[in-house]
Structure 1
Amino acid sequence: MTTDLIHSDATELAELIRTRRVSSVEVVQAHLDRIEATDPELNAIVTLADGALDAARAADEKLAAGAEVGPLHGVPFTAKDSFDTAGVLTQRGSPMFAGRVPDTDATSVARMKHAGGILLAKTNLPEFSYWIESDNLLTGRTNNPWDLNRSAGGSSGGESAAIAAGMSPLGLASDLSISVRGPAADTGVAAFKATHGRVPMTGLWPREPRRNWHVGPMARSIRDLALAYSLLSGPDGADGFAVVPPEFDAGLGTSPDRPVRVGWLVDSGLGPTDPEVAATVQAAADALEGAGARVDAVNIPALERDNPLELWTKLNVMEVKPAFRKVTEGHEDQMFSYSKFLAGTPDTSVEDFVLAEQAVERLRDAFAEYFQRYDLLLLPVTTIPAHEHQLGDFTVDGRTVSPFHVSSTTVPFNLTGLPALSMRFGTSSDGMPIGVQLAATWHAESTILHIASLLESLSPVRDQHPAL
């Protein structure tokens, strides 16, 4: 039973608890036991939330009394340690915030609790949530449950490792350029970054640049992503970007009355991609075509004209560097890799910043035109499977690239605010998960979730777990 519980998705756990076939206490205890057994090797969990078992007992008592309950009643969840959690340490991956305990929950945490979810633990991240690997001076490095010598990704690597290893069924993560989707691909779980502003950023740090930051769920199934998105989305009266009503959706819905139109690519100016990753994307395209979708290989010329990763770097330096300088002043001895790197990076000139902003506008125009012709864009999540720890410059398909290149296929959707989802669809020759990424037009979340659910049913790697 314990093995079944730690590998069940949140939707199934909620149903088991609601029908009283299993108690919330049993579910929470199973995940706490799994954390105790596996986290010493993984280092995904940084803080256990006090009172999780007490909350589970209260959830069971509420059910026994016949009370109305929420869709996640009694189900544990985890949150990246950049989300404020009332009464629970939120240390942001840095000694500069050691011992910090917020008084209030982030909006997304509060919404999960309102739906009946029980906060189980906080998960590891890079310093300030900025890097492609989850490592920092305060809580150390997270390992990938598929291979301890490899990264679980960043900046939500603790969250992805926890879910992949069965320590949590559902989690909250954040994404500036890759940080929800990339770690999910590295560990073989699913993750969703909805349209920018769909999920309020209230109670998260850092906020710069908030027009690129997104909150999103990680899970074991597409239906869990859909459930979590339905709970998390909508204005909270505090985040000025979160203004669209949750019921508005520009997508096809779950039962389109015509074939879905899918374009797929593995390059189009985004740089080299590992051949096994490219083959996995083509396999997903073939699977969708076999299921009745109209599928074409495509290119998007604007991606070739204006390199999104270069644009992101220019904009990021200009906006983040002053914020980091303010936080780290007087604490230079506690700075880790990325804050040191950023401090030594030349400032972006105002002229280059404006030109980069104009290029982002061109990208938005190009995607707007593309999504007039197609419902979905299918492409890699990361350009390589999960890499070894402390990645430096590396070679992909015969070309040497910087470590930032792993995010070249995800960053366009942060710059433009488009929704994008990551899900596993393959396995590398050395046994590592390979994901594919699905993107759609703004506020078309139903399109992505519908097609992802279809693709999940066609996946050759369903229900595979790391052997920990």
Structure 2
Amino acid sequence: MCTSIKSEESLQCKDILQLIKKLCCDILRYIIIQIHFYFDCIVDFVFGIYYDSKAKKVPAVKNDLLLESAISLAEKIRTKKVTSEEIVRTYIERCKEVNSLINAVVEDRYSDAIKEAKAVDAMIEKCKDLEKMKITLPFLGVPFTTKESNCAKGLIHSMGLLCRRNHRSEEDATTVRLLKEAGGILIAKTNIPELNLWIESRNNLYGQTNNPYNITRTVGGSSGGEGAIVAACGAPFSICSDIGGSTRMPAFFNGLFGHKPSEGLTPVAGIGLRENDYPDTMVAAGPLCKKAEDLAPFLKVLIGPNVHRLKLDKPVNVKNLKVFYQESSGDLRASKINSTMQATLIKVVQHFRELTGSATKIKIPGSEYSYKLWRYWMTRENVNFKLNITDRKYITSAKREIFNLLTGNSQLTLAAIIKLIDEDFLPQENDEWARKVTAKAKQFLEEKLGDNGVLFYPSAPFPASYHYSTYLRPFNFGYWCLFNVLRFPVCQVPLGLDKEGLPVGIQVVAAPYNDHLCFAVAKELEATFGGWVPPS
């Protein structure tokens, strides 16, 4: 009996110790979060002193054609309500009007685009089967842009590197070709960070791209030029790519719809320095647009023969969806979700709770390691950063580039040098740990979502921050890259502007190959809360 009492006392002591340990961890976690919060406040205050007097936004739109969706423009062209030439000229003029402020367009093909538009108008005059044209050429005569890193025949493909400043593409990237074959007219290419690997769009060749809502703020990366020019109404839609948020991040910062498709659907040949397609990759091409109705028809074009793998035409009753949400990643290194972003998530969850009858709060196991997991899986990509950054002439190193920087001979930005330091000096993630955590997170989310569930996930801790301030909070990037790691489809949905006039939004996630659920929710949120708002 004495032994039994001692055993019970021992268990009670262990329980008390566990409770004390948990309490101490919670207190420490709270302290770290608060310190990080005040650090962010100081960063914004200091950067604001320098930048706030320089704030500007792009001028107001004068032609309503610039506000329309791509499929609406295509319909007007087909039915001869307006010519392709008029639309192309209108967008070109808008590009010229805003680019001095936002520095998004780095090379144009305006003259050739106008010639192609005239040819489209001539074709339509002779066409006798407009319904067939609608199916085979869904974007006939509609202008588009693409990021500088996507190959476009005859145009610069520098990847933002000084050592590639004169390199021109001999062929189109497959996705660019597919959109051209669908009738789209390429009018320009836009700015990126070096090799697409930074969370701002800045390089030593083209300079820095500015946010059309406030030119002192970031546009994100790597499709930042695309986000800026589409939001500023210089293009109705564009082709982006996403290996760690490169479509969704600019979509969020610039108030647009941006979609990263399920894995293995979009061809990657011609994206970046990839010469061939390969299925095992986190990268995916995807649509960036102002209107939700463009998402599905645009994705159909980009995935080409893989369209049968999705259910893009399947009707979705959003009232029957299972709804889940997560309030934060849980990563202590990331900034605290601010009150505006909290309110944005809450209003979306509340709306769908009223629609569906329920909304369940969850926590993806391992989401607090989002950046670490992405960093591990990047080492499994068919990419050699230290070779590519020299245009494949030699393998460089952090020591070499730091020396070049200190002696005034560096051709790289600080972002690229930080990437080299990360690869050369910081320890790599454990292979077994990374694979185990990834598998657990993926299984958890697949089981939760099934074929009829969506997850609402924060886009970022706060809207577009000041230029260069991202150097002081790089781990916020984890909010986007997690879903590249998991290979789930995810759509960035705009939800208006905050009190400073900056875009806010939410990420909508579905299980693999249920992209149509993301689009249905995007349309519902657009109809309810307004979606994209013009910068002016």
TM-score normalised over the length of structure 2 = 0.78
Q: 1:433 aligns with which of 503, 514, 521?
A: 503
**3-state SS, counterpart of residue 116 of structure 1:** coil
Matched, 1:233 2:288: no
Q: 2:112 aligns with which of 51, 65, 70?
A: 51
Change (3 A) 1:204 1:393: closer
Following superposition, the deviation at residue 179 of structure 1 comes to: 1.0
Contact 1:42 1:142 in 2 (8 A): yes
**3-state SS, counterpart of residue 215 of structure 1:** strand
Separation of aligned partners in 2, 1:360 and 1:257: 29
Matched, 1:66 2:127: yes
Q: 1:358 aligns with which of 413, 416, 436?
A: 436
Change (3 A) 1:319 1:301: closer
Q: 2:191 aligns with which of 124, 133, 136?
A: 124
Matched, 1:335 2:412: yes
Matched, 1:442 2:512: yes
Residue 41 of structure 2 corresponds to none
Matched, 1:274 2:343: no
Residue 298 of structure 1 corresponds to 361
Residue 31 of structure 1 corresponds to 91
Contact 2:195 2:389 in 1 (8 A): no
Separation of aligned partners in 2, 1:122 and 1:411: 25
Following superposition, the deviation at residue 116 of structure 1 comes to: 0.4
Change (3 A) 1:420 1:98: same
Separation of aligned partners in 1, 2:314 and 2:180: 27
Residue 323 of structure 1 corresponds to 385
Contact 1:260 1:294 in 2 (8 A): no
Separation of aligned partners in 2, 1:391 and 1:257: 39
**3-state SS, counterpart of residue 409 of structure 1:** helix
Contact 2:257 2:290 in 1 (8 A): yes
Higher normalized helix content (fraction of residues): 2
Contact 1:321 1:343 in 2 (8 A): no
Contact 1:317 1:348 in 2 (8 A): no
Q: Across the two proteins, how many residue pairs are aligned to each other?
A: 447
Separation of aligned partners in 1, 2:126 and 2:508: 43
Residue 465 of structure 1 corresponds to 534
What residue identity is the alignment partner of 1:48?
Answer: D
The answer to which of 141-150 and 363-372 deviates more is 363-372
Separation of aligned partners in 2, 1:137 and 1:203: 23
What residue identity is the alignment partner of 1:466?
Answer: P
What residue identity is the alignment partner of 1:370?
Answer: K
Following superposition, the deviation at residue 252 of structure 1 comes to: 9.8
Following superposition, the deviation at residue 251 of structure 1 comes to: 8.2
**3-state SS, counterpart of residue 16 of structure 1:** helix
Residue 222 of structure 1 corresponds to 292
CA deviation vs aligned residue, 1:253-286 (integer Å, no higher than 9, x gap): 3234961111112225255312211110111122
Q: 1:369 aligns with which of 442, 447, 466?
A: 447
Contact 2:255 2:532 in 1 (8 A): no
Change (3 A) 1:322 1:354: farther
Following superposition, the deviation at residue 336 of structure 1 comes to: 1.9
Change (3 A) 1:225 1:372: closer
Matched, 1:155 2:213: no
Identity percentage of aligned residues: 28
What residue identity is the alignment partner of 1:414?
Answer: N
Following superposition, the deviation at residue 323 of structure 1 comes to: 3.3
Following superposition, the deviation at residue 17 of structure 1 comes to: 0.7
What residue identity is the alignment partner of 2:71?
Answer: T
CA deviation vs aligned residue, 1:148-201 (integer Å, no higher than 9, x gap): 100111111100000000100010111111110111111111111110111111
Residue 397 of structure 1 corresponds to none
Q: 1:21 aligns with which of 81, 85, 97?
A: 81
Matched, 1:255 2:316: yes
Q: 2:484 aligns with which of 411, 414, 430?
A: 414
Matched, 1:403 2:481: no
**3-state SS, counterpart of residue 308 of structure 2:** coil
Residue 242 of structure 1 corresponds to none
Residue 469 of structure 2 corresponds to 391
Change (3 A) 1:200 1:256: same
What residue identity is the alignment partner of 1:56?
Answer: A
Q: 1:109 aligns with which of 155, 176, 180?
A: 176
Separation of aligned partners in 1, 2:429 and 2:69: 49
Contact 2:525 2:531 in 1 (8 A): no
Separation of aligned partners in 1, 2:471 and 2:99: 29
Separation of aligned partners in 2, 1:203 and 1:151: 26
Following superposition, the deviation at residue 300 of structure 1 comes to: 2.3
Q: Matches of residues 134-173 of structure 1 in structure 2 within 5 Å?
A: 134-173=201-240
**3-state SS, counterpart of residue 425 of structure 1:** strand
Following superposition, the deviation at residue 234 of structure 1 comes to: 4.0
Change (3 A) 1:85 1:308: same
Residue 369 of structure 2 corresponds to 307
CA deviation vs aligned residue, 1:28-64 (integer Å, no higher than 9, x gap): 0001111111101100101102510000000000001
**3-state SS, counterpart of residue 269 of structure 2:** coil
Residue 353 of structure 2 corresponds to 289
Separation of aligned partners in 1, 2:119 and 2:313: 40
Change (3 A) 1:173 1:321: closer
Following superposition, the deviation at residue 137 of structure 1 comes to: 0.5
Following superposition, the deviation at residue 426 of structure 1 comes to: 3.5
Change (3 A) 1:351 1:388: closer
Separation of aligned partners in 1, 2:431 and 2:415: 21
Q: 1:4 aligns with which of 64, 69, 91?
A: 64
Change (3 A) 1:357 1:251: farther
Change (3 A) 1:309 1:251: farther
**3-state SS, counterpart of residue 151 of structure 2:** coil
Following superposition, the deviation at residue 135 of structure 1 comes to: 0.3
Following superposition, the deviation at residue 416 of structure 1 comes to: 1.0
Residue 240 of structure 1 corresponds to none
